[in-house]
Amino acid sequence: MDFHRSLIIVLALAVLPLSAALAAGVSGRVVGADGKGIADAVVFVDAAPESAAARSPATATMDQINKTFVPHVLPVVVGTEVRFPNRDQISHHVYSFSRTKNFELPLYKGENAPPVLFDKPGVVKIGCNIHDWMSAVILVVPTPHFAVTDAEGHFKLAGLPPGNYRLLAWHEQSREKTADTAQRVQVAGSDLELTFQLSLSDDRSRPAMRGSRWDQ
């Protein structure tokens, strides 16, 4: 009996370093060094049990409205087909030279551009060849478990099957390597609260040209 109790304690101690808690879902915040929430960060599960990694083909949309990609950050799971409808009357020429996905949708208007398959995890920087300030990021993550933070930095990952997970936090301007943000959790029965801390670099995007001269 003592042997069994000791074994359980030893096993529990062995698991503790890997799991902050046991939970049915994971929620929390992504904050900066000053404690303020960071919007548009993506928290995602990098490694999951086989049962939680299963996924069906997904689709997503990145619009072009008023010479702006909407949303600016779009997380998708590997294998997602993304559509790029152009809601502007002017033509856009969407492209990416990123190593994760290299593609282009030559000059077009409307919603007829073919979808683009994102089949490799990583970061895909999207641009418009006509309007060089238009940019967006598609974050292709390996599992269907991801969430984007709101204006206060809150996120919630719901519906995680029980198991061990590695969670990462990513932001377009993050100074930290994404791998360095990893936190391991074990999801079992109750909610889990996590906090990620990131420090952001200055926005280096190209200033926009939204005036009527550039109604093109």
Report the nearest approach of other proteins to the CB of residue 148 (Å): 15
Report the nearest approach of other proteins to the CB of residue 67 (Å): 6
16, 35, 59, 132: residue in contact with other proteins (rule CB under 8 A): 132
Beta strands across the sheet bearing 154-157: 154-157, 26-31, 192-197
Q: Is 175 in the site for other proteins (CB under 8 A)?
A: no
Beta strands across the sheet bearing 183-187: 146-148, 42-47, 163-170, 183-187
139, 157, 185, 187: residue in contact with other proteins (rule CB under 8 A): 139
Q: Is 164 in the site for other proteins (CB under 8 A)?
A: no
- Closest to other proteins by CB, 10 vs 107, is 107
Question: Could you tell me which of 91, 147, 92, 96 has the C-alpha nearest to residue 117?
Answer: 96
How many residues does the structure list for the chain?
Answer: 216
7, 18, 54, 106: residue in contact with other proteins (rule CB under 8 A): 106
DSSP class of residue 43? E
- Closest to other proteins by CB, 22 vs 113, is 113
Interface segment toward other proteins; rule CB under 8 A; list 23-31, 147-155, 156-164, 176-184: 176-184
- Other Cβ atoms less than 10 A from the Cβ of 84: the count is 22
Burial 136-161 (b: 16+ CB within 10 A, else e): bbbbbbbbbbbbbbeeebebebeebe
Q: Taking a C-beta distance cutoff of 8 angstroms, is the pair 210, 185 a contact?
A: no
Q: Is 204 in the site for other proteins (CB under 8 A)?
A: yes
Q: Is 213 in the site for other proteins (CB under 8 A)?
A: yes
The amino acid present at 199, given as its one-letter code, is S
Separation CA 102–CA 81 (nearest Å): 14
Q: Is 72 in the site for other proteins (CB under 8 A)?
A: no
Report residue 150 as tokens.
Answer: 């709101």
72, 83, 93, 184: residue in contact with other proteins (rule CB under 8 A): 93
Q: Is 123 in the site for other proteins (CB under 8 A)?
A: yes
Q: Which residues bind other proteins (CB under 8 A)?
A: 65-68, 87-91, 93, 95, 98-99, 104, 106-110, 121-123, 125, 129-130, 132-133, 135, 137, 139, 168, 170, 172-173, 177-179, 204-213, 215-216
